[in-house]
Amino acid sequence: MNVAVVGATGYTGGELLRLLTQHPEVTVTCVTSEQSAHRPLVERLPFLRGHYSLILEPFDPDAISEKAECVFLAFPHTQAMTPTRRLMDAGKKVIDLSADFRLRSPRTYQKWYKAPHLQTALLKKAVYGLPEIYRKKIAGGCLVANPGCYPTGALLPLYPFLKAGVVDSTQAIVVDAKSGISGAGRSPSAATHFPEAHDGFSAYQIGTHRHLPEIVQEITRMSRGNGAGRTRQTQRVLFTPHLLPVNRGILTTIYLPLKQRLSQKNLDDLLDDYQGEPFIRRVSDTPNLAHVRGSNFCDLAAFPTDAGRCATLISAIDNLGKGAAGQAIQNMNVMMGWKESLGLSAPGFFP
Amino acid sequence: MNVAVVGATGYTGGELLRLLTQHPEVTVTCVTSEQSAHRPLVERLPFLRGHYSLILEPFDPDAISEKAECVFLAFPHTQAMTPTRRLMDAGKKVIDLSADFRLRSPRTYQKWYKAPHLQTALLKKAVYGLPEIYRKKIAGGCLVANPGCYPTGALLPLYPFLKAGVVDSTQAIVVDAKSGISGAGRSPSAATHFPEAHDGFSAYQIGTHRHLPEIVQEITRMSRGNGAGRTRQTQRVLFTPHLLPVNRGILTTIYLPLKQRLSQKNLDDLLDDYQGEPFIRRVSDTPNLAHVRGSNFCDLAAFPTDAGRCATLISAIDNLGKGAAGQAIQNMNVMMGWKESLGLSAPGFFP
Amino acid sequence: MNVAVVGATGYTGGELLRLLTQHPEVTVTCVTSEQSAHRPLVERLPFLRGHYSLILEPFDPDAISEKAECVFLAFPHTQAMTPTRRLMDAGKKVIDLSADFRLRSPRTYQKWYKAPHLQTALLKKAVYGLPEIYRKKIAGGCLVANPGCYPTGALLPLYPFLKAGVVDSTQAIVVDAKSGISGAGRSPSAATHFPEAHDGFSAYQIGTHRHLPEIVQEITRMSRGNGAGRTRQTQRVLFTPHLLPVNRGILTTIYLPLKQRLSQKNLDDLLDDYQGEPFIRRVSDTPNLAHVRGSNFCDLAAFPTDAGRCATLISAIDNLGKGAAGQAIQNMNVMMGWKESLGLSAPGFFP
Amino acid sequence: MNVAVVGATGYTGGELLRLLTQHPEVTVTCVTSEQSAHRPLVERLPFLRGHYSLILEPFDPDAISEKAECVFLAFPHTQAMTPTRRLMDAGKKVIDLSADFRLRSPRTYQKWYKAPHLQTALLKKAVYGLPEIYRKKIAGGCLVANPGCYPTGALLPLYPFLKAGVVDSTQAIVVDAKSGISGAGRSPSAATHFPEAHDGFSAYQIGTHRHLPEIVQEITRMSRGNGAGRTRQTQRVLFTPHLLPVNRGILTTIYLPLKQRLSQKNLDDLLDDYQGEPFIRRVSDTPNLAHVRGSNFCDLAAFPTDAGRCATLISAIDNLGKGAAGQAIQNMNVMMGWKESLGLSAPGFFP
């Protein structure tokens, strides 16, 4: 199948192109970049020299339509709505890596992204692209809203517990997340200037990060599954992202209040609900960014704390892998009915 | 005043010696190391070349007694008890940087450090060396138990809130802490081998770290101050330490459940209780390890979250500074009745 | 083909196992480790969880003989000689990643490795495994001495110039090399303890590193090719390795005195001698470790300096890739008559 | 004495302000920044909170003249010439940290800095601020051209050898230098964006870096001292700078061709020419950036290589210390006739 990568020169684009070299069913026929249009792709992504000879193009839905059947859209937030519409009108499958189709409510979208949603009709068609949860819907879909990196790291460990109905929903869930700096994108800024970020560490956007409503939306949907029903209140979530001086990875530490005391075995059994999932690994030690770097894995562990009244959950993902490009390819595989690990079968990177 | 540094070749010892070069009242007359005895100090700490010409000695309380009036003891945990006794019998002031005199209860000590406490009589004389809280006791003391690095980073932000009685003590306090690798000491190990730790990040000792009982002990004492009285139950604390790929610093993110909703102004006012403290800085942005590196400062900020029902507190310290050597010198200054910032007046290091 | 990886738990072993998951002709049937025998492989290499279910075995040539046709030997130097002999007697192909069969002269070996060579007969059968230079010999061989990481980084840029006879051999060649810390192996040590190595940088073993005689041997052989003949004197080489605070990569800066003044075009033309080589990329900017990380590429550039009397050559490799495991697999492919890029076709990693 | 720091918000400005807090004779009365004028200094340099309450001002020579007797000028290159003139006309002592007064020849300046020199008359008054070499001239001067960071790292190890006349000047001197990223300044750029620079390493501006003519000028002057006289040819120098993923430090590896074979003792004796210098340390192991970080030291070592025909010299400095701010303060001390180590007596930072 021919695919296009729109916004190819960022870190997510580069990771998509890296992984797609190993995908047996896919040929990348089109790469776009507004800033570097008409330049060789490898000039902007020199690590791909020898792998691609494509020239970067400006974004043009008609041109893409002729060249590709499936499009990975890595535009900045608020800029993906209309291009998605154009590509879908042309009958293409779209995997949107921006946030533009993740939030079900246009009002919530507008509140957090400071822009009106311009394609609300498409919101109903969009499927939230967490295959471990929405696999069936993704398989039938033609527009996938690829999840945010922080929500992926938070939701995967939470899912078995919310589904099983063991969470004390009267208390807040604490999500303390730490992300590598590639998550901030490829544009230089003061906060990501090497001498500022190196040997530094801090929280940012405390209680105000845009991934919070996305996490809350999905927790709420997960909880409904266990019979809490439509009338259920929104789950209170305390979310603090931190900027970690590494290139890749998100480690998420979650403090989950439980309705009843649970043992280590109880927690392990709940996580083992994921057995058979190709990209979830329950680990018996503590998840470490070093062990998922470059892969599509999400490593998970749960520990009983506060005498069993709380579960401390830990997940490790590569923010560019399971948190972005890897998950996007997994979603494509599900949409196309292919084996879910096509193009994603290589291990990560160590050290 | 002549001082000795026992266990001089570790990172804490090195930081003590670095800072003491700038102390106008102190001369270092004795440095000890069991492994490197009889070698020049600067052979093991080359960054001090040109500053010290001392020769490392094996530990000998009698020899130290002759040379020094005050001793910084940087022995490993469980090895400081008897040396402290010997030095105190000789009339020396001792600042113990191990954990041996931090826990008030010998039973708790034995439970967490897997060794009986050999000097329980001294426990009553020992003062917990957080000058911002115990300044008066330290001033009259002759044995200071210098606090652990994690407890320092957790207790300083918590103190104003616990003292003011605004904490909902029926819920657990979450303490999510991230420490630079110098906190693990100078002995090589698999976890601290560069290619394993670099670009890695993980939690460790979840719910089982020895600094947990220290944090709980002090939170309990702080809470009593507000009238909760002797009968008060132990505060539930969820503590997760993480290993951060930087050399120095501890960033602590605390989720503090509140009895009543508090605003940003309320929180700032509570932190402003520290006004006049020479080493506490309330900051209006988010504390960053990069801004306290090499200093004795503790940077603090508090944010209302969960619609004001929770305070997200953040502190940043240098684990070798306010978390160890800097605080030890501050304690010496308080003990001696000197200006508290002697030897600690230099800014940190940026970048 | 079934292969064994002897010494599987080090960084080179891990990289071999990572790459071999992608090799279409190979199945890993045996992994050994003395220290971790009888433990699951993934316990020591957690990033491989989900990819291997092998159990580590102690080294046993007979057992290996039954399970594998080709053996990657990642023993420490001086410990590979006898095991190689045993495996070759059993008719196996061996790719030895130690230094034990790299030096042609047993006397030189003994001088630099402080141990007598125990299998001098095998030295004649061993082929130095730089496929770009010795491809034909490797194809017919059954024992490959996989080159050292520093020699690979030095020899690949030098080869076209030495072959063309443009080097002024009366002057010394300066090889200033900088290696990531994985090159020092997986055993913790003082110099590779995170807080010592992080933010540090230094040279080591100036003029005394064991890769020096290997570089000199191969330069001398390369020079003979241009008619300098058997009587040619040994080339003088100044080699300084440095330890770089990154995990992977060797950047080598070479100052090459020229017989005659050469222009940028002359230099580029000489490097273009490598055209068609699958793993050599001449780049027009400066080679950067970030662009070869995780790949088997060697990026090369040459710059006329000293008014054309000198060529400043720069190469970038991944010390675990082209400098060790990647090159070993390339050698296996050549030995087996397979396409040279089997198992090595994935790009590196960025960022 | 009252001093001003012009261009206070860059890394050099921050380091000057850090060090000046410890200077017993100096009060900083004025700090300037064009971009952040009228904002509190500590807003841009938060690590200095608690140390300064100054407000940043736009540059105004008249205002500065009223407030300060000595000015540290940290303007970008080509922008320091006229401000220097204005301040000198007002009778101020100026220490210029730009390159504008380092090159003696206006023609060379114009060639390398692409701008005409606007104050050629001042060039004759300017003293090159390497106190170890030009101490007497600095003492009598009122305009110091503070040396570049790379030239400082190259010239200090070379000086004793050039002065002693042992260098074979018919061959090129190789200067292979590696600098921490703070040397690139505080403005974000693609090359210094964390994910690009972290785990990366590369050379840049090979043979074209602006510090090359500065190094050549000073080598030539040093060589004249040994009787080579005015007619001596320009020394050929091969200079390659590299960007190192650390915040601070320059390690310089120099390959120095010798007229005659020299032993380790000969080399050590030549370096011991520096005995009594407060900021030069000859070390017997290899200099390491980790040991000079945050200090004004230059660590030096020399090794006989190529059978004694070459000396491999290594120096380590902190590019912000001896390579910029520290040396500037040392120069001020010399100009004022103060003890040379005032404000510079604290050790560096380890780890």
How many Å lie between the alpha carbon of B89 and the closest alpha carbon of chain D?
Answer: 34
How many CB atoms are located within 10 Å of the residue B268 CB? 14
* Euclidean distance between CA atoms B25 and B333, whole angstroms: 10
All CATH 3.40.50.720 domain ranges in chain D, comma separated: 2-125
Does domain A150-319 sit in CATH 3.30.360.10?
A: yes
Contacts of B266 (CB under 8 A, 6+ apart): B304
In the stretch 69-128 of chain C, residues with CB closer than 8 A to chain A read none
How many CB atoms are located within 10 Å of the residue B96 CB? 27
* Euclidean distance between CA atoms B270 and B161, whole angstroms: 7
CB D239, CB D175: distance < 8 Å? yes
Preceding amide of A106 cis, omega within 30: no
C70: its two tokens:
């080709």
pLDDT band at A234 (very low <50, low <70, confident <90, very high): confident
Residue A307 is predicted with a pLDDT of: 95
Q: Does C309 touch chain D (CB under 8 A)?
A: yes
Residue C224 is predicted with a pLDDT of: 82
> Which pLDDT tens digit goes with each residue over D151-163?
999 999 999 999 9
CB B283, CB B301: distance < 8 Å? yes
Q: What percent of chain B has pLDDT over 70?
A: 98
Residue C218 is predicted with a pLDDT of: 97
Instruction: Evaluate if residue A227 carries a pLDDT over 90.
Output: no
Residue C274 is predicted with a pLDDT of: 98
- Residue of C23, C47, C194 to mutate, testing the A interface (most A Cβ within 10 Å of its Cβ): C47
> Which pLDDT tens digit goes with each residue over C37-73?
999 999 999 999 999 999 999 999 999 999 999 999 9
Contacts of C256 (CB under 8 A, 6+ apart): C158, C161, C167, C173, C310, C311, C312, C313
Q: Does C290 touch chain A (CB under 8 A)?
A: yes
Nearest CA in chain A to B199: A246
CB C103, CB C66: distance < 8 Å? no
Instruction: Evaluate if residue A228 carries a pLDDT over 90.
Output: no
pLDDT band at B229 (very low <50, low <70, confident <90, very high): low
CB B15, CB B321: distance < 8 Å? yes
How many Å lie between the alpha carbon of A46 and the closest alpha carbon of chain C?
Answer: 6
H/E element, D82: helix D81-89
Chain C neighbours (≥3 Cβ pairs under 8 A) are: A, B, D
* Euclidean distance between CA atoms C5 and C83, whole angstroms: 13
> Which pLDDT tens digit goes with each residue over D30-49?
999 999 999 999 999 999 99
Q: Which is nearest to B113 in space by CA: B123, B98, B130?
A: B98
Residue A309: φ, ψ to 5°: -80, -15
Mean model confidence pLDDT for chain D: 96
Q: What percent of chain C has pLDDT over 90?
A: 97
Instruction: Evaluate if residue A230 carries a pLDDT over 80.
Output: no
Residue D224 is predicted with a pLDDT of: 82
Residue A293: φ, ψ to 5°: -50, 120
Instruction: Evaluate if residue C113 carries a pLDDT over 70.
Output: yes
CB A134, CB A337: distance < 8 Å? no
Residue D230 is predicted with a pLDDT of: 54
Residue A229 is predicted with a pLDDT of: 52
* Euclidean distance between CA atoms D274 and D132, whole angstroms: 8
- Residue of C168, C171, C174, C317 to mutate, testing the D interface (most D Cβ within 10 Å of its Cβ): C174
The class that CATH gives domain C2-125 is: alpha beta
Rounded to two decimals, the pTM is 0.97
Instruction: Evaluate if residue C227 carries a pLDDT over 80.
Output: no
Strand blocks (E) in chain D? 2-6, 27-32, 70-73, 93-96, 127-128, 143-145, 173-180, 202-203, 237-244, 250-257, 280-282, 298-305, 310-317
Are D316 and C240 a contacting pair at CB < 8 A?
no
How many CB atoms are located within 10 Å of the residue B163 CB? 16
Q: What percent of chain A has pLDDT over 90?
A: 97
Q: Does A46 touch chain C (CB under 8 A)?
A: yes
Instruction: Evaluate if residue B226 carries a pLDDT over 70.
Output: no
Q: Which is nearest to D332 in space by CA: D45, D137, D72?
A: D72
Q: Does C303 touch chain A (CB under 8 A)?
A: no
pLDDT band at A35 (very low <50, low <70, confident <90, very high): very high
Does domain D150-318 sit in CATH 3.30.360.10?
A: yes
- Residue of D182, D206, D258 to mutate, testing the C interface (most C Cβ within 10 Å of its Cβ): D206
pLDDT band at D227 (very low <50, low <70, confident <90, very high): low
Contacts of C140 (CB under 8 A, 6+ apart): none
Residue A169 is predicted with a pLDDT of: 93
Considering only CB atoms, which chain B residues are within 8 Å of C198?
A: 181, 194, 198, 245-247
Are A189 and D190 a contacting pair at CB < 8 A?
no
Instruction: Evaluate if residue C225 carries a pLDDT over 90.
Output: no
Q: Given the structure tokens 């200095």, which residue do they identify?
A: D48
| Catalytic-labelled residue, pool B30, B70, B149, B310 | B149
Of A180, A188, A199, the CB nearest to D193: A188
Instruction: Evaluate if residue C21 carries a pLDDT over 80.
Output: yes
Q: What does each C-alpha distance from D92 to B53, D28, D68, D139, D141 come to in angstroms?
A: 40, 15, 8, 15, 11
Chain B neighbours (≥3 Cβ pairs under 8 A) are: A, C, D
Tell me the average pLDDT across A208-233: 83
Q: Given the structure tokens 């200077």, which residue do they identify?
A: D23
Residue C66 is predicted with a pLDDT of: 96
Chain A neighbours (≥3 Cβ pairs under 8 A) are: B, C, D
Preceding amide of C351 cis, omega within 30: yes
Residue C234 is predicted with a pLDDT of: 86
Q: Does B236 touch chain C (CB under 8 A)?
A: no
D197: its two tokens:
């620079």
> Which pLDDT tens digit goes with each residue over A158-195?
999 999 999 999 999 999 999 999 999 999 999 999 99
> Which pLDDT tens digit goes with each residue over B28-66?
999 999 999 999 999 999 999 999 999 999 999 999 999
Q: Which is nearest to B146 in space by CA: B343, B319, B339?
A: B319
Mean model confidence pLDDT for chain B: 96
How many Å lie between the alpha carbon of A320 and the closest alpha carbon of chain D?
Answer: 12
Tell me the average pLDDT across C282-301: 98
Rounded-to-10 torsion of CA C66, C72, C78, C84: 40
CB C300, CB C283: distance < 8 Å? yes
All CATH 3.30.360.10 domain ranges in chain B, comma separated: 150-319
Instruction: Evaluate if residue D147 carries a pLDDT over 90.
Output: yes
Q: Does B244 touch chain A (CB under 8 A)?
A: yes
Are C286 and D202 a contacting pair at CB < 8 A?
yes
Instruction: Evaluate if residue D232 carries a pLDDT over 80.
Output: no
How many Å lie between the alpha carbon of B198 and the closest alpha carbon of chain C?
Answer: 7
B149 carries an active-site annotation: yes
Strand partners, A144: A95, A127
D234: its two tokens:
């320009």
How many Å lie between the alpha carbon of C243 and the closest alpha carbon of chain D?
Answer: 10
Q: Does D170 touch chain C (CB under 8 A)?
A: no
3-class SS string, C284-345? CCCCEHHHCCCCCCEEEEEEEEHHHCEEEEEEEECCCHHHHHHHHHHHHHHHHCCCCCCCCC
Q: Which is nearest to D348 in space by CA: A161, B109, B47?
A: B47
Strands C93-96 and A237-244, sheet pairing: unpaired
> Which pLDDT tens digit goes with each residue over B84-100?
999 999 999 999 999 99
Considering only CB atoms, which chain B residues are within 8 Å of C180?
A: 195
Q: What percent of chain B has pLDDT over 90?
A: 97
Tell me the average pLDDT across C264-271: 98
DSSP A258: B
Mean model confidence pLDDT for chain A: 96
Considering only CB atoms, which chain C residues are within 8 Å of D288?
A: 200-202
Tell me the average pLDDT across C341-347: 97
pLDDT band at D21 (very low <50, low <70, confident <90, very high): very high
Instruction: Evaluate if residue C95 carries a pLDDT over 60.
Output: yes
- Helix-helix angle A149-164:A264-271, to 10 degrees: 110
B308-326 core/surface letters (b: 16 or more CB in 10 A; e: else): ebbbbbbbbbbbbbbbbbb
Residues constituting chain A: 351
Q: So which residues of C are the catalytic ones?
A: 149
Q: Does D243 touch chain C (CB under 8 A)?
A: no
- What is the predicted ipTM? 0.96
- Residue of C193, C243, C320, C350 to mutate, testing the B interface (most B Cβ within 10 Å of its Cβ): C193
Which amino acid, residue A67?
Answer: K
